[in-house]
Structure 1
């Protein structure tokens, strides 16, 4: 009898222990909920609403904290700045692409900017105020990634475009310089141009004035008529100064056959080294019929 009583008591104690263990998780959850409610209520007390405002709903606040749900307004705000950045990137890329197309320059060093993925990412957030927070977060991450890709592609295209613009500017400048040089050459190769070149050159290099130029003008008018293409078939004398042979003038420049200024430079140097001045050379020419 005593043995049976002890057995019953042990069974009763085991049942009580199991019941206590099964109630423990519920007690923990209740404590956590109580704590969250306390935090929510405390926050509500500390930041009491203004007069006339509706009091916060503690139950809703607790549910939000437990489930992680956020107000839709916060979803919208989360994507607002990334969307602005994405739209700016699209605008920059479109303007740059239009400028490149209008220029007609070769920018093959950079790939065209593909806007389709970014525009799709922007469109996916058009109705973000109706999407769950976690979906907005994921779509915003994708939007940022596509924005970065477009920004990088635009930067590469801009670099190629700038290089093409600089090359065109350099080519244009070179062409303009060549045209100016050709025009100057054409002007110098006329009789009046050759005389003007000779007068300037003799004054700057040798200090000879108008009296010496008068002698030089007479000398070379007799020799060649100031024609840079003059050629004496019997002697082989060539050019304005009638160099013999004409190839001697190569010492003044490789373009001696086509440039009056080169022929003049050689002729003045020859006169200075042999006769001292144009008037001395002219006097010798008058006396001997050559110089």
Structure 2
């Protein structure tokens, strides 16, 4: 029903937001009546739409724009809140990923530093062993021992203790015991390996002295140099021997 500048509409209200949205819809329906629609039919439609109505309001025609503006403002506020929430979520996710990356980088750096320290420590230990072996070697040269036509096992072992040194002697002894049984003339019939440390071929020991066939001290010196060069020390050679039964 149109009366001057005012229209009457029945609207369903569930809070202020629902009231505003319903009011806009109702105003559109009533304007349609003023343009020539069937008033009775429209009244029935409005009654059906407002079946759950709890409040009647008169909305002045001049305030329709205000109602629409309020509705749009609410929509904008809702959209803004959603955008803020999404931005916050994205920021939190980015922060989480960055924290995870920082933690992984820190762990990798720590592992790298630990590996470097371990390598440095091992290198230092090897250098220490080499130094000790060099000192032992310089302390007892094969020429320091009187030449004899033959040597007992105890004499050969005494030579080895002086040449190799106490720190590595036991490892050296373990290898010699298994390779030759401390027999400086031991010969492997199948391979031709010779002497205390079973050099293959035996002629290799000539680098330590021309008397390599008959002088245990020369063989010991050559064997010590071989173990130091290839395994860093007699103990390194012994460790390899235990795993492979050769060195």
- Larger strand fraction of residues: 2
Which protein is richer in helix relative to its size?
1
Higher RCO (Cα < 8 Å, 6 or more apart):
2
- Superposition TM-score, scaled by structure 1 size: 0.34
**TM-score w.r.t. structure 2 length?**
0.40
